[in-house]
Amino acid sequence: MNSVDEIVHPLIREVFRKLEFNLDVEVGSFADVPATGTGLGSSSSFTVGLINSLSNFCGNRFSKRQLAELACEIELERCKEPIGKQDQYAAAFGGINSFTFHTDGTVSVFPVSDDGVHNMLNSSLILYDLGYGRKSSDILRNQSIAMLKAESFNKVKKLRELVSPMILALETKNISLVADVIRESWEYKKEITEGISNASIAELHEIALQKGALAGKVVGAGGGGFLLLVVEPEKREWFKKSFKLLSELKFEVSQTGSEIVLNDELT
């Protein structure tokens, strides 16, 4: 390959262009989840990670904010993806944060006090693979159109109003309150537009509740991908043994965000 323009993958191509990266390298990507359709922010995580690795390769170390801003530029402006900025900032910063997205395009990041919050979430959240993905851009475009109507727009406003209750639930380490917020948010979310939920998702969600889950929601845009469940820590293992309809994806909340784990400089 002689030119960046020959790179087919849009994210890789635009990152190379933005960084004016013209060295001969091979880019390899390895993940525990499919590349698209998961709702886990994998595309933004990939973009942040690629920017981080290539810039470090050239001796430039961007701050977490710079990584997030550059990733947003790549995905939203250069690749014209109909997405928000939350995934890029979550991938760059790591940890548990509250984000405020301002009308001028800037983003404020407010870390939620840790003090055991990560441990609480790691012991209470379970992620299950629904077995099929979806094209989030289609759902998000429909959502944008739906938000032109007052009813759907009000649902989104209701979701925003749940930020403060969630922060309180996390800071008080009250998993029951966390479940209450997730339960309420899912009810608002699936009413914004068609395709966010379906009969299969609704059935699996109901079965999970009957088995003892406190709450659940499909992560990301919805329509497929992964089902996130909240289960009391003391009931976690019993629940996992009784709910065998889906495959679990084991995970932990990252406290660091994107990081360079190996810098093997050539000599």
Q: Find the CATH number of the domain harbouring 64.
A: 3.30.230.10
The CATH number assigned to the domain holding 228 equals 3.30.70.890
d(CA 63, CA 61): 7
Tens-level pLDDT at each residue, the chain (267 residues): 778 999 999 999 999 999 999 888 899 999 888 777 788 999 999 999 999 999 999 888 999 999 999 999 999 999 999 889 999 999 999 999 999 999 999 999 999 987 899 999 999 999 999 998 876 667 777 777 777 788 888 989 999 999 999 999 999 999 999 999 999 999 999 998 888 999 999 999 999 999 999 999 999 888 899 999 999 999 999 999 999 999 999 999 998 999 998 887 654
134 with 197, same domain: the answer is: yes
Domain containing 188 equals 117-248
Asked if 103 and 156 sit in the same domain, the reply is: no
Among candidate residues 231, 217, 257, 247, the one with its CA nearest the CA of residue 33: 247
Are both 102 and 200 inside the same structural domain? no
Ramachandran area for residue 102 (φ above 0: left; ψ -120 to 50: alpha; else beta): beta
Q: Is residue 256 domain-resident? A: no
What's the predicted TM-score (pTM) here?
Answer: 0.92
